[in-house]
């Protein structure tokens, strides 16, 4: 079905295409060949068998006839006439790869009832435009022979499949004989290729060669369905598979007589039946000889191709509804369901149902094929749309809308239903269709403009020795104007269906392209400035002895003000480049998936792209032939700095922070073993796998570290550029002046700190809450110790160590240790009524905390000991309290309270305020004291 994507002129540049002929002038063309693998591969996978396209087509036709043998003679509801040049009159030995001149396959233009499917797909019939009254060859004197009576669905399928009448008749006779033995059985319980081998003999064919080819085709079909692509996986020790392989191997070299009920045929039957009726876990008695991927999908693809006109490969035939009704009967043999049907038909144009399927399906096979199919469709479409000025013109513009629709629809499903990044964004934040069209417009116009630049430069070189050489700016101005008009009248009317401001985007893009002429314009202005100064100098020197010193002459020479013009031009150039970089940042962030696999370096490809564009922008700036690079450079640096800061801010936004994961401090409470304290930990997010999310956060950290590291490199490169400037002075680059990026480095430091703490506290307080808050010391401390927490924490530390850059690894692991200490303390001091500790438990707690510190020390391979001591000081200070006897604790509490507050009442100290609240006779104070200190409402 892949050939349905290829328009007659889409495979080549528009310069090689010709206008689409009208239906009345079109002669039937040969059946177009399939696209090669270099153009568009099938998403269903490659067949391992030696079956060629012709073999597969005849096999698909056999399957179709088998399931429709009782109903394929139903007359079509539309009138379609077939002429005497039908392939049915070709002898079986002839090459049938050509298409007959069949007026019946020119759509039934006089049909009153239009196809429901074509209406649903929004398609029109070729020739249905005003003035097209009938299909060619259907009227008197057409020279096409007499018309037959209205054909049946079976005859229509025969012609669409290019099957000769002799072949059709032979298969139908065989099916009648097979049907006689199907008393009480359904066709899906029949191994069709084997039964055909049994029914047909050499005498049924015109010559030995035709019989041999037919027998080999059916044996290869058995091999493909039962051995190479079985639905039910094969056991390597299966004797039947080995026997069948041996029989097929021998028969492919030397034909065997399968028409006789001899011993070899019985062996073949036993092996075939044993393999075909292996259970797949269902209660169905259907055999499995053609329902394994990709064989079944390839056969179904061939059947779906028949819905399209063999003369107009992008047009659906009028009889598609009836034909599709019969094609779907093959589902029972091919193992096709509605979802697989939609996937196959997606390979052409039916994306609406697929979009519904992907929202509900959990089948990995369907998801894999869907992703592959949509990616191929999108790639095929974008190959044409990213440079649509080269692909389309007024002669073939009618195909553009369909290709844009395919590309946009595929992109929407991939982004909206497959991308996890999209799901985290607010609804309506991303307009996939508009973004794709925006990209197509900008890419195509940039390509077209570059071609015209090259063409204009060639014209200038060719006219260099002429008396009046062509000015390149004038040539380009004319070309760009023509390009804009062509865009407005030919392409914008189509593209605005997905992007209401398509014309505006085109104009803005061309306006930005014009700024690329700055170099040539600046050269002209500088030459004019030098000319002005030379002329003024000559005038002054010549009139130095005059009465007014040459002032009168000078007044006749108004200044060009070239320097001001150059400055304004370069400022406009800078603004355009910065605006373009900002747009690139938005697009790059929209497409970024923050996957560790996306880059070998562990940071986001989007950052590499943005830094490369900044490099290119700086190079382009210093290549401008201006004398004021040092003066104008700060404007450029500020603009680039803001864009890069914007990238950094967007990179860390929405990722949370330390406070996102720290739970609210619980109320004071007395221990009451057995009850579970609720309401401290936040609910787990329902999004993606926690480890995958942590990996994405680490990639963001790596990215910000990469950008921060590149700042010094960029600034050194700027200094090098300045040293090579014609007007730069040593002091301008020796002290740096304002040649530094000020916003981005600070944003990177802040972003790394925020993301590092977010990762750490998310791991401890969110991902490990089931072993920390829900498990540690709950009930009896001796039976719920820290081992489980350490095991899972170690796994997370290994993942972090493998993911983050070595320069930031220590920072993140340190933050994880700080979070672990905070979590440990929270369990001890605010663990709720499900925890209670005795003095005897103090040794358990101290041993567990030592194990926690040892995890981070890792026998000297982890964090430095002094760093661990620094951040564990608070816990080490608290742990001795658990060894202290209760009386001493009470006395110490009283002493500290007196020492802290004394009995000097003070309106600014907590004890005074607390006592006022304790003696306040109202509901609000009572509720606060009850919730916070568990004080009773009444004494």
pLDDT of residue 123: 54
Cβ 438 vs Cβ 499: under 8 Å: yes
Q: Are residues 256 and 282 in the same domain?
A: yes
pLDDT for the residue 121: 57
Residues 209 and 295 reside in one and the same domain: yes
pLDDT of 839 strictly over 80: yes
Neighbouring residues of 625: CB distance < 8 A, sequence distance ≥ 6: 519, 522, 523, 526
One domain for residues 381 and 322: no
How close are the terminal C-alpha atoms of the chain, in Å?
A: 85
Query: What average pLDDT does this structure show over 204-233?
Result: 89
Residues 474 and 553 in one domain: yes
Answer yes or no: do 324 and 385 share one domain: no
Task: Name the one residue in this structure whose structure tokens are 């391992």.
Answer: 48
Mean pLDDT of 227-238: 82
pTM score: 0.49
Specify which of 419-423, 552-556, 920-924 reaches the highest per-range mean pLDDT.
920-924
Q: Which of 340, 362, 378 is the last residue of a domain?
A: 340
Looking at the structure, do residues 179 and 326 belong to the same domain, yes or no? yes
Nearest-10 Cα torsion for 231, 233, 237, 239: -10
Confidence of residue 547 (pLDDT cuts 50, 70, 90): low
CA atoms within 13 A on the CB side of 241: 18
Place of tokens 């997010």: 685
Q: What pLDDT score does 754 carry?
A: 94
Instruction: Give, in degrees to the nearest 5, the angle at Cα 379 between 374 and 380.
Output: 100
**Degrees, nearest 5: CA angle 797-809-695:** 60
C-alpha closest to that of 187 among 70, 265, 280, 295: 70
Question: Phi and psi for 316 in degrees, rounded to 5?
Answer: -90, 140
Query: Which three-class secondary structure string do you get for 385-446?
Result: HCCHHHHCCCCCHHHHHHHHHHHHHHHHHHHHHHCHHHHCCCCCCCCHHHHHHHHHHHHHHH
Q: Provide DSSP, 244-263.
A: HHHHHHHHHHS---TTS--H
Ramachandran sector of residue 877 (left: φ over 0; alpha: ψ -120 to 50; beta: rest): alpha
* Nearest by Cα to 127 from 340, 318, 356, 321: 318
Q: What is the separation of C-alpha 459 from the centre of its chain, rounded to a whole number of angstroms?
A: 42
Q: Which stretch, 85-89, 311-315, 727-731, 799-803, has highest mean pLDDT?
A: 799-803
pLDDT > 70: percent of the chain: 68
Return the higher-pLDDT residue of 446 and 753.
753
Interhelix angle 562-591/502-514, nearest 10 degrees: 130
Does residue 322 sit within a domain? yes
Stretch among 389-398, 442-451, 730-739, 824-833 having the lowest mean pLDDT: 730-739
Confidence class for position 91, pLDDT limits 50, 70, 90: very low
DSSP 8-state symbol, 89: G
Cα distance between residue 323 and residue 303, in whole Å: 10
pLDDT at 671: 55
DSSP one-letter string for 829-890: HH--TT----GGGHHHHHHHHHHHHHHHHGGGTSS-HHHHHHHTHHHHHHGGGGTS-HHHHH
Q: How far apart are CA 266 and CA 781, in angstroms?
A: 73
Q: What phi, psi does 842 have (nearest 5°)?
A: -60, -35
CA–CA separation, 565 and 627 (whole Å) = 13
Q: Which of 228-237, 459-468, 504-513 has the highest mean pLDDT?
A: 228-237
Show which of 560, 579, 606 is a domain's final residue: 560
Residues 295 and 373 in one domain: no
Residue 835 pLDDT level (bands cut at 50, 70, 90): confident
Q: What is the pLDDT of residues 673-700, one digit of tens each?
A: 554 444 455 444 544 566 778 888 999 9
- Number of domains comprising the chain: 3
Task: Calculate mean pLDDT across residues 262-279.
Answer: 84
Residue 247 falls within a domain, yes or no? Answer: yes
Instruction: Say if residue 280 is in the same domain as residue 365.
Output: no
Tell me: do 446 and 481 sit in the same domain. yes
User: Percent of the chain, pLDDT > 90?
Assistant: 17
Residue 385 belongs to some domain of the structure: yes
Does position 251 have pLDDT exceeding 70, yes or no?
yes
> What's 18's DSSP letter?
-
Do the beta carbons of residue 538 and residue 640 sit within 8 Å? no
Q: What is the pLDDT of residue 566?
A: 72
527 falls within a domain: yes
Average pLDDT taken over every residue of the chain: 75
User: How many Cβ atoms from other residues are within 10 Å of residue 246's Cβ?
Assistant: 12
- Are 650 and 589 within 8 A, CB to CB? yes
Residues 326 and 358 in one domain: no
- In a domain, residue 78? The reply is no
Quick check: 789 and 776 in contact, CB under 8 A? Answer: yes
- Return all residues near 96 (Cβ < 8 A) that are at least 6 apart: 54, 87, 90, 162, 163, 164
**Tens digits of per-residue pLDDT, 154-174?**
888 898 888 999 898 898 988
Is 878 inside a domain boundary? no
556 within some domain: yes
- Shared domain for 301 and 355, answered yes or no, is no
Geometric angle at alpha carbon 907, from 906 and 912, rounded to 5°: 70
Final residue belonging to a domain, choices 540, 560, 580: 560
Residue 861: phi, psi to the nearest 5? -95, -5
Q: Could you identify the residue written with the tokens 């696999």?
A: 597
d(CA 478, CA 514): 12
Nearest to 910 by CA among 893, 895, 928, 897: 897
Domain membership of residue 316 (yes or no) is: yes
Range(s) of the domain holding residue 491: 433-462+469-560
Asked if 336 and 359 sit in the same domain, the reply is: no
DSSP β-bridge partners for residue 152: 75
């Amino acid at each position: 079905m892949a050939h349905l994507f290829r328009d007659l002129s889409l495979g080549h540049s528009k310069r090689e295409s010709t206008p689409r002929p009208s239906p009345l002038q079109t002669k039937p063309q040969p059946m177009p060949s399939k696209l090669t693998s270099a153009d568009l591969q099938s998403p269903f996978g490659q067949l391992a068998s030696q079956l060629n396209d012709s073999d597969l087509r005849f096999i698909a036709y056999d399957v179709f006839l088998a399931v429709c043998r009782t109903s394929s003679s139903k007359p079509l509801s539309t009138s379609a006439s077939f002429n005497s040049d039908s392939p049915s009159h070709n002898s079986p030995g002839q090459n049938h790869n050509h298409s007959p001149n069949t007026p019946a396959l020119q759509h039934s233009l006089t049909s009153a009832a239009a196809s429901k499917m074509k209406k649903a797909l929004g398609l029109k019939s070729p020739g249905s435009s005003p003035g097209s009254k009938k299909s060619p060859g259907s009227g008197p004197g057409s020279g096409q022979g007499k018309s037959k009576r209205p054909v049946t669905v079976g005859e229509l399928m025969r012609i669409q499949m290019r099957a000769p009448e002799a072949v059709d008749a032979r298969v139908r006779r065989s099916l009648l004989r097979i049907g006689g033995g199907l008393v009480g059985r359904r066709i899906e319980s029949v191994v069709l290729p084997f039964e055909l081998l049994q029914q047909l003999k050499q005498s049924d064919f015109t010559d030995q060669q035709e019989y041999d080819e037919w027998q080999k085709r059916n044996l290869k079909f058995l091999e493909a369905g039962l051995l190479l692509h079985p639905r039910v996986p094969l056991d390597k020790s299966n004797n039947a598979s080995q026997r069948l392989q041996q029989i097929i191997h021998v028969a492919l070299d030397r034909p065997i007589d399968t028409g006789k009920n001899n011993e070899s045929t019985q062996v073949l039957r036993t092996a075939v039946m044993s393999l075909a009726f292996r259970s797949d876990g269902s209660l169905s008695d259907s055999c499995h000889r053609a329902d394994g991927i990709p064989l079944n999908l390839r056969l179904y693809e061939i059947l779906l191709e028949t819905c399209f006109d063999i003369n107009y490969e992008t047009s659906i035939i009028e009889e598609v509804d009836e034909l599709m009704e019969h094609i779907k009967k093959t589902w029972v043999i091919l193992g096709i369901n509605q979802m697989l049907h939609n996937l196959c038909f997606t390979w052409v144009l039916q994306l609406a149902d697929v979009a519904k399927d992907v929202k509900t399906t959990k089948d990995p096979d369907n998801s894999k094929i869907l992703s592959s199919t949509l990616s191929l469709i999108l790639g095929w479409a974008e190959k044409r749309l990213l440079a649509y000025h080269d692909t389309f013109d007024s002669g073939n513009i009618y195909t553009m809308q369909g290709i844009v629709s395919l590309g946009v629809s595929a992109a929407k499903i991939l982004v909206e239903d497959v991308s996890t990044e999209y799901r985290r964004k607010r609804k309506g934040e991303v307009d996939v269709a508009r973004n794709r069209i925006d990209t197509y417009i900008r890419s195509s116009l940039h390509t077209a403009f570059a071609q015209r630049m090259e063409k204009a430069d060639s014209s200038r070189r060719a006219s260099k020795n002429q008396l009046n050489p062509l000015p390149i700016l004038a040539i380009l101005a004319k070309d760009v104007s023509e390009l804009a008009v062509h865009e407005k009248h030919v392409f914008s009317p189509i593209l605005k269906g997905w992007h209401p401001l398509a014309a505006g985007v085109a104009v803005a893009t061309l306006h930005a392209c014009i700024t690329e002429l700055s170099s040539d314009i600046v050269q002209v202005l500088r030459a004019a400035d030098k000319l002005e100064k030379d002329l003024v100098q000559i005038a002054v020197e010549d009139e130095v002895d005059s009465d007014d010193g040459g002032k009168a002459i000078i007044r006749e020479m108004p200044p060009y003000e070239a320097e001001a013009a150059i400055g304004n031009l370069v400022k406009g150039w800078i603004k355009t480049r910065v605006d373009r970089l900002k747009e690139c940042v938005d697009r790059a962030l929209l497409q970024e998936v923050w996957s560790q696999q996306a880059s070998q370096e562990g940071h986001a490809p989007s950052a590499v792209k943005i830094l490369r564009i900044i490099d290119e922008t700086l190079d382009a700036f210093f290549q401008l032939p201006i004398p004021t690079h040092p003066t104008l450079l700060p404007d450029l640096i500020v603009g680039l700095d803001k864009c890069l800061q914007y990238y950094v801010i967007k990179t860390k936004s929405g990722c949370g922070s330390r406070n996102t994961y720290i739970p609210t401090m619980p109320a004071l409470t007395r221990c009451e073993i057995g009850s579970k304290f609720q309401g401290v930990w936040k609910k787990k997010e329902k999004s993606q796998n926690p480890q995958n999310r942590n990996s994405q956060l680490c990639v963001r950290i790596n990215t910000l570290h990469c950008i921060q590291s590149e700042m010094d490199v960029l600034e050194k490169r700027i200094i090098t550029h300045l040293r090579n400037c014609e007007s730069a002075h040593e002091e301008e680059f020796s002290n740096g002046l304002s040649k530094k990026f000020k916003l981005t480095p600070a944003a990177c430091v802040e972003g790394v700190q925020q993301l590092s703490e977010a990762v750490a506290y998310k791991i401890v307080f969110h991902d490990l809450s089931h072993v920390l808050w829900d498990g540690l010391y709950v009930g009896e401390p001796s039976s719920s110790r820290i081992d489980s927490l350490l095991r899972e924490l170690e796994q997370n530390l290994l993942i972090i160590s493998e993911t983050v850059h070595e320069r930031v690894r220590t920072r993140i692991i340190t933050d994880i240790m700080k979070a672990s200490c905070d979590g440990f303390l929270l369990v001890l001091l605010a663990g709720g009524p499900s925890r209670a500790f005795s003095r005897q438990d103090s040794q358990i707690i101290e041993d567990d905390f030592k194990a926690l510190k040892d995890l981070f020390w890792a026998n000297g391979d982890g964090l430095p000991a002094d760093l661990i001591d620094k951040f564990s000081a608070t816990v080490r200070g608290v742990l001795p309290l658990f060894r202290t006897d209760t009386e001493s604790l009470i006395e110490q509490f009283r002493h500290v309270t007196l020492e802290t507050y004394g009995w000097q009442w003070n309106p600014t100290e907590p004890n005074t305020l607390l006592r006022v609240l304790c003696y306040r006779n109202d509901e609000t104070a009572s509720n606060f004291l009850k919730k916070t200190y568990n004080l009773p409402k009444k004494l």
